[in-house]
Chains A and B, each alone.
Chain A
Amino acid sequence: MINFEEKISKSVRVKTKNLDTSAFILNLKNRHNKELKRIQRFKSGFAAFSFIFIISLVTIFQLDNYDVIHNDLKFTDYNDAFYDEYIFSDYNDNNFDENEFTVFIYEESFHYDAEELVYLNEFFIKDIEEEKSL
């Protein structure tokens, strides 16, 4: 068995040249720099992808809620003439109702949801009637 071991040990011996150390070190450093750049590119790409993905999620979420807000807003609950008067015609200042206008402005800003607008409208109508009764 020892002879066989010696035989295979001898069989793997090879004559090798000495490598050019300076060229080898230069290649090694170039390879290391390339790997660093590749890792940096990967990180930048991943960061950009994550950013776009998060923005997309936020946008989709907002778009999903857009219908929820506006589906509850029933324009038939409001008098269409109410809008026509403000938007399409020249209205007389005497006809200008400050409270109705306030509700209209509230409605045009999207910071209130439908329930709040209906409540505000009913509140102001009630307020107007109380004032009239006084």
Chain B
Amino acid sequence: MLDDNELIQKFQNGDEKAFDQLVRNNLNNVFGFFMKVTRDEMSAEDLTQDVFMKLYKNLKNFRHDSNFSTYLYRINANTVNSWITRSKWKNLLHLDQAPDKGEYDIKNEAEWTKEELWNEISKLPNKQRRVMILRITDSLSYSEISKITGMSEGTAKVNFHHGLKKLKEVLSND
């Protein structure tokens, strides 16, 4: 069984089936990542397709400087960041359609909290938002986050704590 870097080498040499195997190896992880953010299978599947389309177009230029998983996470983070920014504007338009909290029973209360959580995350500054997404969805270490985002570990920690503090202030007040 070839690992991801070997599959990429084969793909760069013209073997299309190597890319298919790469998709099989990483599909469910990528899909799971997007499901945590979007909570909607169709959106998650669309975003997953976007990621693998970008991979298909850009893997020929992959220089093996970094680990493939870091590269993939970077694409995931950028893709989900764009999605959250687009959703933020959609949510602004749908604000008047949001139901009152009182209409929700206990079973739905967790979904309401998730909705609030991602709305508030979408309002965070870009750096805080990127670190927050990677930390809370896949519990990545600051070292891994630093490799993915290009920030130093210290900067990643600071951004995460500032973001977390803002979220706590807003969500606790609800």
1/0 contact string of B23-35 vs chain A (CB within 8 Å): 1100110011001
The size bracket of the interface on B is 20 to 34
Known: A11-B114, A19-B48, A32-B56. A1 touches B36 (CB 8 A): no
* Interface residues, chain A, with chain B CB atoms under 8 Å away: 1, 4-5, 8-9, 11-14, 16-19, 21, 24-25, 27-28, 31-32, 35
1/0 contact string of B155-174 vs chain A (CB within 8 Å): 00000010011011000000
CB-CB nearest in chain A for B57: A32
Chain B residues near A12: list those with CB within 8 A.
Answer: 36-37, 114, 117, 136-137
Q: Is the interface of A mostly helix, strand, loop or mixed?
A: helix
Q: Are A21 and B24 in contact (CB under 8 A)?
A: yes
CA distance A91 to B154 in the complex (A): 105
CA distance A48 to B34 in the complex (A): 42
Q: Does B127 contact A (CB under 8 A)?
A: no
Q: Does B152 contact A (CB under 8 A)?
A: no
User: Among residues 27 to 80 in chain B, which have CB atoms less than 8 Å away from a CB atom of chain A?
Assistant: 27-28, 31-32, 35-37, 39, 41, 44-45, 48-49, 52-53, 56
